[in-house]
Amino acid sequence: MAAPRPNTFLIGGPKCGTTSLAHYLSEHPDVFLGYPKEPSYWSSDLAQSGTVALVRSLNDYLNIYSSAEGKKVVLDASTRYLFSKVAVRRIVEFNPKAKFIVILRNPIEAAYAYHMEKVFNHFEDEEDFEIAWKLQSRRLQGHSIPSGCDEPKELQYQQVASFGSQLASVLEHVKRDDLLVLFTEDMASDARGTYLKVLDFLDLEDDGRTDFKIKGGAHFNRFQALSRLYQNPPKVIRPVIRSLKQLIRRNFPLSWEYMIKKVLVTRKARKPLSEEMRRDLASGFCEDVKLLEKVTGKDLRHWLDAS
């Protein structure tokens, strides 16, 4: 029997509900989600910086899914793939029958949340989103790059959240029948209905799931120094931290990992963007949202309402 290979890719967008959907699917009896859930192997144009694992070769990648025998859906949930210029093409070359799922959100909210995530992971040292947004052009020239950031492209918040152009690029390589596009707002208003749509797309039976708690919402670090050591340590000790995380994962229940994160993390709502900033973002994303409307056939004008 052939070794298990990923056949389904939840490729983004970041901070759009992918963590929640990946969690729901991981508990379906016919689905296998590997660890790490985001190996980011196919986005070779973006530098890897994970402290869970570095996936350097196809063999490393396939080893993540070696326990997936007998599962109908083998899931790679790397959200970098939507932003990557090469990932989707490489995936289709690897598996021409691959299925792709994309979840999209108002880019104004997605960009803001993504900045928060980069601050949380210590890849971004400018905590004020408005300032970080204004730094984009300077950073594109290689200036003001935080010492902990291995991939400066991910500080280009407008590009990261330009879902219209990204989805159009995906469709250059993927047949529409092999792509499911979802929206975060639909998951929020009808989580089970959206989940059933995913199961139908993947040809999976309804497992009767009714628990749709949100995963991966807004979060902040309690202890900056300790969090930096855990999330984004100096490169010289990253192999040690990586090995420690893998050791904990192999030898202790998942509850230990959750307990560590609970100690390090606090959850609270982000402060609202100023009206002026929302207007600036709406203007910046206007053309891309129009493209997304054209690609999906969905009316998204409300996304650009700055009120």
List, in sequence order, the alpha helices (H) in the chain. Answer: 18-26, 58-63, 80-83, 87-94, 107-120, 129-134, 136-140, 157-160, 163-170, 184-189, 191-201, 224-231, 238-251, 254-264, 275-296
Taking the chain, what is the end-to-end CA distance rounded to the nearest angstrom?
A: 57
Q: What class is the 8-107+151-214+286-304 domain?
A: alpha beta
pLDDT over 90 (residue 140): yes
Which pLDDT tens digit goes with each residue over 69-123?
A: 999 999 999 999 999 999 999 999 999 999 999 999 999 999 999 999 999 888 9
Rounded to two decimals, the pTM is 0.88
Which pLDDT tens digit goes with each residue over 256-296?
A: 565 666 666 666 677 899 999 999 999 999 999 999 999 99
Q: What is the residue extent of each domain of the chain?
A: 8-107+151-214+286-304
Q: What share of the chain is helix, strand, coil (3-state, %, to 5)?
A: 50, 10, 40
Cα angle at 54 between 247 and 171, to 5 degrees?
A: 130
Let me know how long the chain is: 307
Amino acid making up residue 60: D
Closest by CA position to 31, among listed 82, 57, 67 = 67
Most confident of 169-173, 217-221, 259-263, 302-306: 169-173
Cα angle at 293 between 302 and 166, to 5 degrees?
A: 115
